[in-house]
Amino acid sequence: MKVFVRLFLVTALVSVNGFLFGQSNFKPGYIKTAKGDSIIGFVNYQDWDRTPRLIKFKRTVDAEANSYGPGSLLAFGLVSPEIKYEACDVKMDLVEQREGKIPLDTDNKGVWILRREFLEVLEAGEISLLRYKGIRELFFIKVNGVVEQLVHRKYYLHRNGETLIKHDQTYKRQLLYVFRNNDKVDERRIRKVGYNYEDLRELFNEVYTTGKPEEKKDKERFKRILFQYGVVAGGGVSSISFKGNAKPSVTGADFAPTINFSAGLFSEFVLVSNFKRWSLYNELVYNSRSVEGDFLYRRGPRLLNGETEVELGTLSLTNMVRYTYGFGKVKVFVGIGMNVAFIADVSSVSVTKYDNAEESEVSEPLNDDNIRPYSLGFASGLGLRTGRFVVEARGNFSSNFSELVFMEAKAKDITLMLSYRIF
């Protein structure tokens, strides 16, 4: 038990240290200067929620970092994960970056301005797909070196004394035009494409899945797994039940659910080829449960009553398959999987009274010999993901972990988990 706890504490401290110093996250990458020179080094990658105006780059690990903007670079990128940004001169609709649900007035013209920005390359090919992340995500296409915004907006329309909310879906006509000679997508397919990351990425993936060798090479970056890890903690309601004929001071006790807390580490392998929808989630957490219950039973002519307290410490390994669906910056996911709980510590105390007399007897009804070293269980979850943070409602249900033939022991946890992704 002490070895488990020490190992857990050391690992947690290392993770917290990584979190505290995660502000600087230099990863192997490159920049391409305005003169066209490519320089290999390290890029300070922050998994930006909004497209950066400046990035920091240094040639060696020990070198001093310099800041670069889109005016001084043609592009920059990372080696792993494979990410690329291009500096582009674009005509951008600034109205789409205003706060509020309905950004436009009745004219539906927008406010266009020519500016130079970093754009993330989502798909590179004869027709490239790029993204700008601001208050709202804007998507662009690049054809023959010319970058054009895919237009989608909401606006007010006043008609017959009523105010209507209309949608300008010009982006569908733009896609129909650029893919007019492509036999892999038709008008019916493009009409179904929403103005969001998942739908547009899926459309371009269909276009470039097969075809010319250079197009296949562009798609190879989808066939990889993205590794992520971080820290996780949570609290919730735990319950332990004992049933059977053995240990009546335990099996006869009515244990009430209690509030318990857990903390640990997680890793997640995200299948990028499915637009980060499917992933394999792994979690290692330590949990300490403590329950109390009253019992009453008869032994021969004598009536026995009292109270039993059971403490159970477990180191749990949870493996789940998750499916994620995106709604802008907030993504919803469901997960299902298995849980293996290693029983690290068991302790119990029973205070028994005979015939309701004042005299009592203290005993230890449960010990390590009565409990299996591990138990298998079922886990399911429903959560929200935004940026590096994840909130999840989790249910864990264990199988029988009693070593005794005439006693069954099971645990159930309903927990609210909060996790932070370090990488």
pLDDT digits (tens, 9 = 90+) for 272-317: 655 568 899 999 999 988 899 999 888 888 888 889 999 989 999 9
Looking at the DSSP assignment, which residues form a beta bridge with residue 66?
57
Q: Are residues 141 and 208 in the same domain?
A: yes
- In a domain, residue 19? The reply is no
- Secondary structure class of 168 (helix, strand, coil): strand
Q: Are residues 282 and 261 in the same domain?
A: yes
Strands (E) in 26-97, as ranges, are: 26-33, 38-44, 55-58, 66-68, 73-78, 83-93
- In a domain, residue 305? The reply is yes
Q: What is residue 274's predicted lDDT score, i.e. its pLDDT? A: 54
Structure confidence by residue, pLDDT tens digits, 344-382: 888 888 888 877 776 778 888 888 888 899 899 999 999
**C-alpha distance from residue 330 to each of 142, 268, 389 (Å):** 27, 18, 10
Residue 109 has pLDDT above 80, yes or no: no
Element containing residue 15 per DSSP (H, E): helix 2-20
Q: Are residues 270 and 413 in the same domain?
A: yes
Q: Cα 142–204–175 angle (5° rounding)?
A: 60
Q: Are residues 266 and 366 in the same domain?
A: yes
Mean pLDDT score across all residues of the chain: 84
Residue 37, classified by CB atoms within 10 Å of its CB into exposed (0-12), middle (13-18) or buried (19+), is exposed
Q: Are residues 300 and 401 in the same domain?
A: yes
- In a domain, residue 7? The reply is no
Q: Are residues 200 and 229 in the same domain?
A: no
Q: Are residues 293 and 376 in the same domain?
A: yes
Residue 55 has pLDDT above 70, yes or no: yes
The pLDDT-based confidence of 21 (bands split at 50, 70, 90) is very low
Q: Are residues 333 and 232 in the same domain?
A: yes
Residue 340 has pLDDT above 60, yes or no: yes
Q: Are residues 69 and 100 in the same domain?
A: no
Provide the percentage of residues in the chain whose pLDDT is more than 90: 47
CATH of the domain at 67: 2.30.30
CATH of the domain at 258: 2.40.160.20
> Considering its fold, how many domains does the chain have in total?
3
Per-residue b or e along 164-188, where b marks 16 or more CB atoms closer than 10 Å to that residue's CB: eeeeebebbebbeeebeeeeebeee
Q: Are residues 396 and 249 in the same domain?
A: yes
Q: What is residue 110's predicted lDDT score, i.e. its pLDDT? A: 67
Structure confidence by residue, pLDDT tens digits, 228-272: 899 999 999 999 999 998 888 888 898 999 999 999 999 999 886
Q: Are residues 230 and 216 in the same domain?
A: no
* Token pair recorded at residue 89: 């001169």
- In a domain, residue 165? The reply is yes
Structure confidence by residue, pLDDT tens digits, 42-51: 999 988 889 9
Work out the average pLDDT over 126-150: 92
Domain membership of residue 362 as a residue range? 225-421
**C-alpha distance from residue 306 to each of 249, 253, 312, 355 (Å):** 8, 9, 20, 11
Q: Are residues 74 and 99 in the same domain?
A: no
**C-alpha distance from residue 419 to each of 264, 321, 346, 385, 388 (Å):** 9, 17, 28, 10, 8
